[in-house]
C-alpha cells in the first residue's frame, strides 16, 4: 500500500512469512509453510518462494524443501537460507539450491543467515546450549 493510501497488494498467496525484499525492490523471497496433517499433528512442510513485489505474481519455488528464512545477497544474485544445522545458497533465477555449509549436529542455525555488505560473507546465529554468533568469512568469492 502506498504511504498516501490506496489498495494493498497481496504479495504472497496461500501463506507467507519472513519475507525479504531483493536489493532492487523488484522481488520478494519468503517462507511458505504448508500443513501436512491435522493441526494437532503440527507437521509442517516449509518451502521458499519468490514473487514479483509490485504485483504478487508467483515467479518460482525453491527446489530444495524445508529451507527457511531467505535473505537476498547485496547484489541480488543469491539468496541464503537455513535448515537445521545447514546454510544453503539459492539461485533466484532458477530456484536451484545448493548446500553451502553444514555445522556439527549439536549446532542449529537460529534466525537468518545474513549477508555482509560486500556480499562475501554470511553471519549465522548458532544455538547449542548457549547461543553463538559466527562469521563465515569469504563465504562467497567470485
Q: What pLDDT, on a 0 to 100 scale, did the predictor assign at position 7?
A: 77
* Distance between CA atoms of residues 60 and 89, nearest Å: 15
pLDDT at 21 over 70: yes
**What is the percentage of the chain residues whose pLDDT exceeds 90?**
32
- β-pair partners for 79: 72, 90
* Distance between CA atoms of residues 99 and 108, nearest Å: 15
The phi and psi torsions of 137 (rounded to 5 degrees) equal -70, 145
Read off the pTM: 0.78
Domains and CATH numbers, the chain: 17-136 (2.120.10.30)
Predicted confidence band of residue 23 (pLDDT cuts 50, 70, 90) = very high
* Distance between CA atoms of residues 98 and 107, nearest Å: 20
5: its cell numbers: 493510501
Amino acid at each position: 500500500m502506498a504511504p498516501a493510501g490506496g489498495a494493498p497488494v497481496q504479495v504472497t498467496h496461500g501463506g507467507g512469512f519472513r519475507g525479504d525484499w531483493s536489493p532492487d525492490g523488484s522481488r520478494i523471497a519468503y517462507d511458505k509453510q504448508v500443513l501436512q496433517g491435522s493441526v494437532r499433528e503440527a507437521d509442517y512442510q516449509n518451502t521458499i518462494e519468490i514473487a514479483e513485489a509490485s504485483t504478487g505474481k508467483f515467479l518460482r519455488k525453491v527446489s530444495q524443501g524445508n529451507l527457511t528464512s531467505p535473505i537476498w545477497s547485496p547484489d541480488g544474485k543469491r539468496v541464503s537460507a537455513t535448515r537445521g544445522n545447514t546454510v544453503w545458497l539459492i539461485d533466484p533465477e532458477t530456484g536451484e539450491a545448493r548446500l553451502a555449509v553444514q555445522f556439527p549436529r549439536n549446532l542449529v542455525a537460529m534466525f537468518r543467515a545474513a549477508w555482509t555488505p560486500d556480499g562475501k560473507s554470511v553471519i549465522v546465529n548458532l544455538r547449542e546450549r548457549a547461543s553463538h554468533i559466527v562469521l563465515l568469512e569469504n563465504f562467497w568469492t567470485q
